[in-house]
Amino acid sequence: MKKNKIIIANMKMNGSLSSNEIYLTKIKNNFNNFKNLDIGLCLPYPYLFQAKKFLINTKIRWGSQNVAKFENGPYTGEISAAMLKEFDSKYVIVGHSERSTAYCESDENIADKFEKVKKYKMTPVLCVGETLIEREAGIMERVIASQLDVIVKIYGAGIFENSIVAYEPIWAIGSDMAATPDQANKMCNYIKDFICKEHSCDFKNFNIIYGGSVNPKNAVQLFASESLNGVLIGRSSINFDEFSHICSAAENS
């Protein structure tokens, strides 16, 4: 049976109560009829309750862009996996490069966050990707392998069951320079082989998606790639028309 395509919106630090109301109403009215898509909106934390209020009786799910690596305690400003679960979050982005660069997040921290999301039965969307310098040096596979390997070493490859890995080359984020379908295909295949073949895991539910300057123009070609199960969208997800265009392309791919 053909798998549904996964479309995750990383809305980053955008939105307001009033603009979300308009956006979520449109999503609710227009996106619920897509049959072949699993759509998730990753919003800023304060708006999770609003996403739940609007989307509760739809097929569209919601979630966050980060989580604490700790369960609870004296961690000022952090939000735990248990708290996200209370708002019925499904997806949690972990290891996004905009966070790991700005806050010097280590691969070990990211591994602990991934584990917390799994523990609370949500779906981690783990971002991995290389810089332009690393790509030009031809070491992108080694970079991705080391990012994945930390999680495998600490928690075992089995933890990737029921999870999503997003290949997000850092040079493609916010740059209008998306990876070509061929580049995305190669790296997504590499990730799949690394997790599934090298560690002999036969997962029922493990998906690899691509993120980085996905827009209505390049989406059709990306969806044609067999190794990609979907996309992680930044800027084009906050523009309803663009987002809708991408979802229609995915639905018909």
Q: Is 27 or 173 the residue whose CB approaches ligand 13P more closely? A: 173
Q: Is 95 or 157 the residue whose CB approaches ligand 13P more closely? A: 95
- Give the residue nearest to ligand 13P (CB): 234
Distance, CA of 140 to CA of 196 (rounded, Å): 19
Which position among 98, 105, 130, 168 bears the catalytic label? 168
**Binding site residues, ligand 13P, CB under 6 A:** 10, 96, 168, 173-174, 211-214, 232-236
Q: How far is the CB of 35 from ligand 13P (least distance, A)?
A: 25
Q: How far is the CB of 171 from ligand 13P (least distance, A)?
A: 10
Q: How far is the CB of 65 from ligand 13P (least distance, A)?
A: 8
Which position among 86, 96, 98, 108 bears the catalytic label? 96
One-letter amino acid of 39: I
DSSP reduced 3-state for 212:
coil
Distance, CA of 214 to CA of 206 (rounded, Å): 21
Active site residue 168: yes
Sequence-ordered list of residues with C-beta below 8 angstroms from that of 80, at least 6 positions apart, any chain: 67, 68, 70, 71, 72, 116
DSSP reduced 3-state for 164:
strand
Strand partners, 241: none
Phi first, then psi: what are they for 63, rounded to 5°? 175, -165
Q: Is 90 or 199 the residue whose CB approaches ligand 13P more closely? A: 90
Q: How far is the CB of 183 from ligand 13P (least distance, A)?
A: 15
Q: How far is the CB of 23 from ligand 13P (least distance, A)?
A: 16
Active site residue 198: no
Instruction: Name the token pair of 52.
Output: 């739940």
Sequence-ordered list of residues with C-beta below 8 angstroms from that of 33, at least 6 positions apart, any chain: none
Q: Is 69 or 96 the residue whose CB approaches ligand 13P more closely? A: 96
The answer to whether 161 and 118 are in contact (CB under 8 A) is no
Sequence-ordered list of residues with C-beta below 8 angstroms from that of 162, at least 6 positions apart, any chain: 118, 123, 203, 205, 206
Q: Is 124 or 234 the residue whose CB approaches ligand 13P more closely? A: 234
Residues noted as catalytic: 96, 168
